[in-house]
Structure 1
């Protein structure tokens, strides 16, 4: 599962992408529109600024905007910036690989092989979708009737 911080970062970046080229967007507008606590959003936007994805300007007319066009930012890049990896387990990470503790040897572990395939397919999907791509919300799932 994605952390709350990562989900908030995605929503904030979507908001900035929707307003790309229209000047700075105030933190309060992002927080209110995306239902993100302002203090937490400040931390997230600061992190995204350090990563070079967002720029900011202080002052009354200040705010935040994307540092690069939304067509050049993939969801895979964004999640990697926030989470460090797309893998569900450390041994299946391509860029932050770590051996699992209390596990089989990597070359013998079928679970690792499975989750490496999941990671690669997930990366293929998330690296193909850009912040500029339209995403249509879907209706909520029906309540469980069982």
Structure 2
């Protein structure tokens, strides 16, 4: 699993902010940018990408801004990472959305490196694809109550 990009971290933080705003509530780009410490121009590009993918929508007018189009329980971290950063797999031969045989590959079946990273990738995918925006804010809220 490669490190997630700054862009993906910003996308997830913006989506968490929209989740916390509540169902059907919109936030202005400037509100999200200030609240999450994200450069406004960069945030505009990220939200456009998320809009094209059907995760958020924009509203015009006085109460305008961005809001979640999908329910927070339907948006997984894995989906967002694939939209922003592309494949989650650390090796091209393990990618579901961009499979490529490794250039110097003799045999995928006999590749020790592939076998180890296959386990890493499966575990990573399991967590990212099962964890939704709703889960993420629920876990943070539980931690805050416990402390």
TM-score (norm 1): 0.86
Shift of 1:93: 1.0
Report the Cα distance in structure 1 between the residues aligned to 2:24 and 2:73, rounded to whole angstroms: 16
For 2:106 and 2:51, how far apart are their aligned partners in 1?
40
Cα displacement (A) at 1:92:
1.4
Report the counterpart of residue 114 of structure 1 in structure 2.
116
- Residues 6 and 79 in structure 1, CA contact (< 8 A), matched pair in contact too: yes
Moved more, 51-60 or 30-39: 51-60
Distance 1:31 1:123 in 2: 29
Q: CA deviation at 1:103?
A: 4.0
Equivalences for residues 71-110 of structure 1 within 5 A:
71-110=73-112
Correspondence for 1:34: 36
Matched, 1:56 2:58: yes
Report the Cα distance in structure 2 between the residues aligned to 1:101 and 1:28, rounded to whole angstroms.
45
SS of residue in 2 equivalent to 1:52: coil
Q: Identify the residue that residue 125 of structure 2 maps to in structure 1.
A: 123
* Residue 136 (structure 1) aligned with residue 140 (structure 2): yes
Runs of at least 5 residues in structure 2 that lack an aligned partner in the other structure: none
The alignment partner of 2:102 has SS state of coil
Q: Once the 2 structures are TM-superposed, how far is the Cα of residue 95 of structure 1 from its aligned partner?
A: 2.2
TM-score (norm 2): 0.86
Q: What displacement does 1:10 show?
A: 0.7
Of Structure 1 and Structure 2, which has the larger fraction of its residues in helix? 2
Structure 1 residue 37: Cα displacement: 0.5
Residue 108 of structure 1 and its aligned partner are, at CA, apart by 2.2
Q: CA deviation at 1:96?
A: 1.5
Report SS of the residue matched to 1:101.
Answer: coil
Q: Conserved in 1, the CA contact under 8 Å of 2:24 and 2:68?
A: no
SS at match of 1:88: coil
1-side partners of 2:44 and 2:20: how far apart? Answer: 19
- Is there any run of 5+ residues in structure 1 with no aligned partner, and where? 139-146
Q: Which sits farther off after the overlay, 96-105 or 125-134?
A: 96-105
